[in-house]
Structure 1
């Protein structure tokens, strides 16, 4: 590929700073500490004495300071994600991490003093209409009141995290990004990135799929000491934090932060597990379509029909934009801006972070998307997925800083909805029944991956944290936990290759965000409900959906979706989502019926 075409697949970060050694970046690194110290001197120990007007002013100053503090950190993360082997990027990433840690310690007092307000005083402030825009933020912070420590202890814990979990997270990222893989393809040995190997799970030949995944997993097994140490350290640290803060369960702090009651999360997971047989039924259908007696787990995403075709990046981009355009021209324009403004990095290369993400920056800074595009249909869906995040962040930019980011359970809503739009677009544009079967299978597999598989990941993570409380988890034990939870999903419908025992070792969510994965299950089942509303209401649904995304983090998840007529506490809510999946499986059976 020509250099100019390659350049178009790499994001442009100069709109944030001219470069990693620019004066503008260094100026922000120098300016923030002085502003943080000034903020601390003026407000520390005084929050309880502020009236509504005074607290409003303090909150606005706090948000302005947060935007200043976070910008260089986000910039450093983008550079490190694009190339973690570059020495300049490495140094900048570490500098930004230390800077962020220092700044968070300087302003930590502010949230703590809001949390520690006596209830009568807080009730007066919460009722003050001048603070209406910050009411949910303050209430959500105060949910942690029983678990917070005094400021000195909180500061020390934050400071030591640099040489604790944050250091191990960085080690995980650098080791993972450093891997090189060799695989024989078409008669010659090739060097591939991890993302390129995982992309081969969509290869038409079963032997290639199995060899590619085995090579990928075996490379991780070679670093068993590193990965098992990282996972043990993360779990041990979380367990100690749980003990210090008097949490009853490893998942409790995540549930509090998500504003989702534990009983709702437990119901979500138990309903998911009760529906595992539905996934197994699909796997048996897929085996017949592939003319296999039984799938291996490397065959789950095997292509059918025309989905073996390869897409250029331009083709994939245009398909995703067309899908959004059919929903709403405004949504298409927001998505297209990522490409016009050079805010997408799609080219796989050594040293680049695996997977894909959309980084929401701040209300005043545009979000960026990282992809690892290899040209298969799944990559087209990933573009639609990450652009959904991008649209979500864009719509939320009218919010202020503390209300910008959506609560975690809603963070995947727009992304999953975008994939649904893409599938509908592809199905409606296609006339060949065999291709329709292939596309419907791809949609079902996406739902299975985003619900059942994420439930498996969450159960593994839960068991890992619970068992770590009783002592060190060997790499062998981690492999056993992973194997057992996946076996519950696959049943006798799918045979797992032996190397898959190491499947836990490359899941970055386990390292970077405790119990993130159930948010995918939550979002998928929520989106199935929202999508059904869209199909029945048409354009009348668009303003409701837009408002859900635009609300950012200004409301709880339950209050955010209530405008769409959705009650998250309804006993049958989660099952309704799986009923939609069952309908899709039944439609597939009708299509393939002789």
Structure 2
């Protein structure tokens, strides 16, 4: 067990969702004043001190006595009281950790922010050692004793948490070993992850034709520039920049993969991704079915689409820097923040006034940080913080249509997090496989509205192509990323991987997934190095593909049977982490264990490609 504050803050998709553009006026910046006035606020130190004292008191109260006390006649009341107290400690720690993490994301190069983040992380890890016993002892309690204790109405509220916790029993170590793993995390995984973040933030890219060097985020944005010369310069500059730190990235990757292998071996996980599947509360067979369905569909999806795009560009194959390039006839206007807000809010409101009201809170309050700044965390994310507070959204908004879709995506996350909050700190967090539901659904609502309002066939074609590319990046690319990780972690069990081997694996899975109509130039073999998910949360990436296919199926249900859909949809989001995916999807007549579920989701992408092909035939 660990504090909820230790959850990683990850961008949605760094390069795949980036965009180009100039500075936009009127962009909001968040205020972290709901937590603390600043890193030197005396309240921060006071809260850490009181949390430490209360954590030690909790340990003294319950450690070594749970089994006996739960077996007593008043065991149910004891369990309820202990869980309520533990949950309160989790929430308090989450507030502190969320503040430090969000502050750091604001400017990862600020030494004060970095020190605050590091110091708070160390202290929370130290405090967590006083609470580590709780989950371990709960899992050692006899099933019959636990069942009887959960008969108490107050304790029964926490049944989903207990049931999830007990799924971890086969992989639980002794108290001393668990404490060692926790204590060492600050000087092992956490430290190496921070080194990666700091290295990425400090990278500067030299681009031919550009005045001075730019940040990696700015260079990634240039891969979507309408001018091929700019895209090529960005691609080559990024490759050179990543290669300049390739020894560091290789060392970080090897070290963290070995760290995970040690943990997996001691815990007895049978597969390199087993711990992620357990955390996601999803069966390995379900993930395997998803991966198989997507890889089998590569020729019908990515290979076919990129062949079409190459023809649109008048090339026999797309170059590395062309894959996400806008179409030649694409609208390159800059979308103001006000227009972006109006588009998203209108589409949300068209589905449900409740959805628009919840999303509107982020605009009415300083909960969004949108400008691009040096040192700011790349990409975009929605961080739930804790139920007693509210989520925050980070964007790097630069005024393109993809940025509007990213806004819809992250607001979907934020709405989901608000709705799940009443479940409390222990049960509000949603498994990653379901955490993408509201975000991708929000994107779909926004896209469908924009498509319906398209003024002409040309605009509709551009929008369809853009949506297809987003879906390919969310499904095909993420499964390729998952395949890359599986190769890396499997081979690491036999020894270290060289930079050259990492690049070879990256190129192999990229060629397989992208197909023969994408020509990967020299230098692309280094692009694996900047993907933060590989470092912060191994095997996280398949959740994007899971979520996209799930939403495609959900949206199909909504179009066929709109009556009563909203009620079931909000019930799904409000469940947080209290129900298994099979239970949540059953009201919609969906089952992720059925191979047809994934085929249905992928057919939506294929249908959009069919529509593009039909438009080409009609025009030609």
Match of 1:401, SS state, is coil
Q: Does 1:226 align with 2:226?
A: no
Q: Distance in 1 between matches of 2:340 and 2:206?
A: 27
Q: Distance in 1 between matches of 2:172 and 2:318?
A: 49
Q: Does 1:540 align with 2:564?
A: yes
Match in the other structure for 1:588: 612
Q: Does 1:19 align with 2:38?
A: yes
Match in the other structure for 1:196: 218
Match in the other structure for 1:461: 485
Match in the other structure for 2:65: 46
Q: Distance in 1 between matches of 2:550 and 2:30?
A: 32
Q: Is the 8 A contact 1:193 1:349 kept in 2?
A: no
Q: Is the 8 A contact 2:24 2:398 kept in 1?
A: no
Tell me by how many angstroms 1:26 deviates.
1.6
Match in the other structure for 1:280: 303
Match in the other structure for 1:568: 592
Q: Is the 8 A contact 1:17 1:24 kept in 2?
A: yes
Q: Distance in 1 between matches of 2:151 and 2:541?
A: 35
Provide closer, same or farther for how the CA distance between residues 171 and 121 of structure 1 changes in structure 2, counting only shifts above 3 A: same
> Deviation string for 1:13-36 (max 9, x for gaps)?
112111111122121111100010
Match of 1:294 among 281, 297, 317: 317
Match of 1:568, SS state, is coil
Q: Is the 8 A contact 1:307 1:377 kept in 2?
A: no
Q: Is the 8 A contact 2:30 2:368 kept in 1?
A: yes
Match in the other structure for 1:409: 433
Match of 1:151 among 175, 180, 190: 175
Which residues in structure 2 correspond to 1:116-195 (within 5 Å)?
Answer: 116-185=140-209, 188-195=210-217
The number of equivalent residue pairs is: 589
TM normalised by structure 1 equals 0.96
Tell me by how many angstroms 1:375 deviates.
1.9
Q: Distance in 2 between matches of 1:454 and 1:81?
A: 24
> Deviation string for 1:263-282 (max 9, x for gaps)?
11111111110000021111
Match in the other structure for 2:17: none
Higher relative contact order (CA 8 A, sep 6+): 2
Match in the other structure for 1:257: 279
* Larger CA deviation: 525-534 vs 19-28: 19-28
Match in the other structure for 1:241: 263
Match in the other structure for 2:102: 78
Match of 1:369, SS state, is strand
Match in the other structure for 2:238: 216
> Deviation string for 1:402-449 (max 9, x for gaps)?
111111111111111111111111111112101100101111111111
Tell me by how many angstroms 1:338 deviates.
1.1
Q: Distance in 2 between matches of 1:442 and 1:43?
A: 56
> Deviation string for 1:533-583 (max 9, x for gaps)?
111223521111111111111112222222222111113111111112111
Q: Does 1:346 align with 2:365?
A: no
TM normalised by structure 2 equals 0.92
Match in the other structure for 2:125: 101
Q: Does 1:29 align with 2:48?
A: yes
Match of 1:403, SS state, is coil
Which residues in structure 2 correspond to 1:325-364 (within 5 Å)?
Answer: 325-364=349-388
Match of 2:324, SS state, is coil
Root-mean-square deviation (CA), in Å? 1.6
Q: Is the 8 A contact 1:193 1:348 kept in 2?
A: no
Match in the other structure for 2:476: 452
Match of 2:564, SS state, is helix
Q: Is the 8 A contact 2:27 2:337 kept in 1?
A: no
Tell me by how many angstroms 1:297 deviates.
3.2
Tell me by how many angstroms 1:7 deviates.
7.7
User: Which ranges of structure 2 fall in alignment gaps of 5 or more residues?
Assistant: 1-22
* Larger CA deviation: 523-532 vs 582-591: 582-591
Q: Distance in 2 between matches of 1:112 and 1:494?
A: 50
Match in the other structure for 2:583: 559
Q: Is the 8 A contact 2:382 2:410 kept in 1?
A: yes
Match of 1:149, SS state, is coil
Match in the other structure for 1:63: 87
Q: Is the 8 A contact 2:433 2:547 kept in 1?
A: yes
Match in the other structure for 1:380: 404
Match in the other structure for 1:370: 394
* Larger CA deviation: 452-461 vs 564-573: 564-573
Q: Is the 8 A contact 2:582 2:592 kept in 1?
A: yes
Match of 2:116, SS state, is helix
Provide closer, same or farther for how the CA distance between residues 306 and 483 of structure 1 changes in structure 2, counting only shifts above 3 A: closer
